[in-house]
Amino acid sequence: MSNKLENTDRLCLHTITTKPWSIEIALEQYAGAGVRGITIWRDTLEGRDLKKIRRRIMDAGLEVVSLCRGGFFPSADETERERAVLDNLEAVHEAEAVGAPSIVLVPGADPRQPLEDSRRQIEEGILRINEEAKKAGVRLSIEPLHPMYADTRSAVNTLSQANDMCDRIGDSNVGVAVDVYHLWWDPSLGEQIESSARHGRLFAFHVCDWLSPTSDLLYDRGLMGEGCIPVPEIRGKMEEAGFHGFIEVEIFSTRRWSMDQSRNLKDIIEAYFQHT
Amino acid sequence: MSNKLENTDRLCLHTITTKPWSIEIALEQYAGAGVRGITIWRDTLEGRDLKKIRRRIMDAGLEVVSLCRGGFFPSADETERERAVLDNLEAVHEAEAVGAPSIVLVPGADPRQPLEDSRRQIEEGILRINEEAKKAGVRLSIEPLHPMYADTRSAVNTLSQANDMCDRIGDSNVGVAVDVYHLWWDPSLGEQIESSARHGRLFAFHVCDWLSPTSDLLYDRGLMGEGCIPVPEIRGKMEEAGFHGFIEVEIFSTRRWSMDQSRNLKDIIEAYFQHT
């Protein structure tokens, strides 16, 4: 089990968590609330001058933890696969421009083809962008997604699979992102976190909660403490394995997006201290 | 890969698949359509004389494949756990009365407690009812459920976990039910099916499909061929492992329940030949 978190030094927010806010407002509000890290979702950068955003982030005293998201490599259509590679190369340059040391890769899947094909295409896609990512100083984090997303979002559904993929790729620039929402149910999670750590590939840690009942497959995540995921216990496993990086709050929630976002931010900080 | 199915000798329907029909109508309609097996959901037996139902089933020339469902053992509340054991003992006697050689156990989970506690309580619950089940000639099939049900329906989410549980219980009366909906995403499925078979515990095989997109966590299953599960391939793995029992169609679908059920049955039989 983990010790209580005593300050916000490790607190990072994904911009999607406060979706109604523009990147400019998010930066200001996060910094004002004592949040230290920010993981930037690419949609918030649309139409922006990335150098200016980079400057604003530095002025706000925030650290960019990751750019979210690359990936979505598989497709039964070859042209689409090429497009995905190009889009990921663009993400690498965006990450470099905003000062993100890593990109979260949501692996992707295509229901029109076997999972095995999607898995092979994910690996091929990563190999296609990894050299460029290394030149840019950008690490790649494979995020295994919950098996309920195996049709369209990820053919990589356990940390064990992500670790195996990293083993095959065999490059220290490619690691994993552990998200409690996707992996909490897996009895081998602790041992797989240790394995990731031993290989120096435990790059990121995302938190939220699983609501019971959950009313929507995508947009009904809970705040830590609202659901049944033992978040502090999983954080404990991460720390025992040597991870002391940012704790990234990533919550997709129609319900929370419809709230006043200052209230949402206050709730998140409270939940960070009480239930993370 | 499997050979085409050439007749309905192995076709079984779960009564829940044609939910609007009473057990009496279901029996008649299934038999008339050439269905050979029936898995009876307990709700259809409410208020019925089980001996009469047993007689009707025999008269219709149907074979009872399983009674569905027992289980739901875990609870943070001890009184509820005791109630669950009693309810499962009742299920054993119902199974015996209607001539069901086995009960499908939906293991259960309680979001108020750690998954490890739920897992231990599932095992304890099975041990509590197994002797009575053996006396009644009723086998117990542990059905691992998709990880999206880990909060309230099942703390057993992979075939590997179910196999481990069977190993610990160590009694040939306790085996597993393989449902493609719950397990299709798991890259170790083939090897775990072989392992179940080697131990003589491959008791049941349930089919349906995963719709993409899926609009509801519970009631939006598809007919075989409507989604992205490689049902024939998984059937092939079952058969290579030596399973040649009933192929049980179990589809929870608000959409299909709202159809004319004769049409639903026709579609199922077509999908059985074309996509199973």
Q: What digits encode the pLDDT tens for the residues A68-91?
A: 999 999 999 999 999 999 999 999
pLDDT, tens only, A230-274: 999 999 999 999 999 999 999 999 999 999 999 999 999 999 999
Nearest residue, CB atoms, B185 vs list A150, A210, A228: A150
> For residue B275, with 0-12 CB atoms within 10 Å meaning exposed, 13-18 middle and 19 or more buried, which class applies?
middle
Q: How many CB pairs under 8 A join A and B?
A: 67
Element (H, E) at A70: strand A63-71
pLDDT < 50: residue spans in chain A? none
A50/A57 Cα distance (integer angstroms): 10
Q: Which among A117, A39, A210, A89 has a CA at the least distance from the CA of B187?
A: A117
- Give the per-residue pLDDT at A139: 98
CB B4: neighbour CB atoms within 10 A?
Answer: 8
Element (H, E) at B14: strand B11-14
Say if CB B106 and CB B150 are below 8 A apart: no
Instruction: Give A158 or B3, the one with higher predicted confidence.
Output: A158
Nearest residue, CB atoms, B151 vs list A157, A186, A210: A210
- Give the per-residue pLDDT at B206: 98
Nearest chain B alpha carbon to A214 = B217
- Give the per-residue pLDDT at A1: 63
Six token digits for residue B263: 């049409």
Hey, is the C-beta of B148 within 8 angstroms of any chain A C-beta? yes
pLDDT, tens only, B199-209: 999 999 999 99
- Give the per-residue pLDDT at A257: 98
* Residue B1 pLDDT > 70: no
Any idea what DSSP says for residue A253? B
Domain-wise residue ranges, chain B: 11-275
How is domain B11-275 classified at the architecture level of CATH? Alpha-Beta Barrel (3.20)
- Give the per-residue pLDDT at B2: 77
Say if CB A61 and CB A91 are below 8 A apart: no
pLDDT, tens only, B172-194: 999 999 999 999 999 999 999 99
Q: Which among A118, A115, A114, A159 has a CA at the least distance from the CA of A141?
A: A159
pLDDT level of residue B3 (50, 70, 90 thresholds):
confident
Q: Do B151 and A228 touch (CB under 8 A)?
A: yes
Hey, is the C-beta of A152 within 8 angstroms of any chain B C-beta? yes
pLDDT, tens only, B218-247: 999 999 999 999 999 999 999 999 999 999
> What is the residue-averaged pLDDT of chain B?
98
The reply to whether omega before A153 is within 30° of 0 (cis) is: no
Say if CB B230 and CB B181 are below 8 A apart: no
- Residue A153 — φ and ψ, nearest 5°? -110, -35
pLDDT, tens only, B130-166: 999 999 999 999 999 999 999 999 999 999 999 999 9
pLDDT level of residue B253 (50, 70, 90 thresholds):
very high
B144: amino acid identity, one letter: P
- Give the per-residue pLDDT at B145: 98
Q: Do B212 and A151 touch (CB under 8 A)?
A: yes
Six token digits for residue A247: 């704790």
Q: Which among B245, B237, B236 has a CA at the least distance from the CA of B101?
A: B245
Nearest residue, CB atoms, B147 vs list A151, A161, A185: A185
A64/A48 Cα distance (integer angstroms): 16
A186/A259 Cα distance (integer angstroms): 32
Q: Do A150 and B112 touch (CB under 8 A)?
A: no
Nearest residue, CB atoms, A212 vs list B111, B213, B227: B111
B62/B39 Cα distance (integer angstroms): 10
Six token digits for residue B268: 């199922």
Residue to mutate among B116, B120, B151, with most A CBs inside 10 A, is B151
Q: Do A214 and B217 touch (CB under 8 A)?
A: yes
Hey, is the C-beta of B173 within 8 angstroms of any chain A C-beta? no
- Give the per-residue pLDDT at A164: 98
Six token digits for residue B244: 């040649």
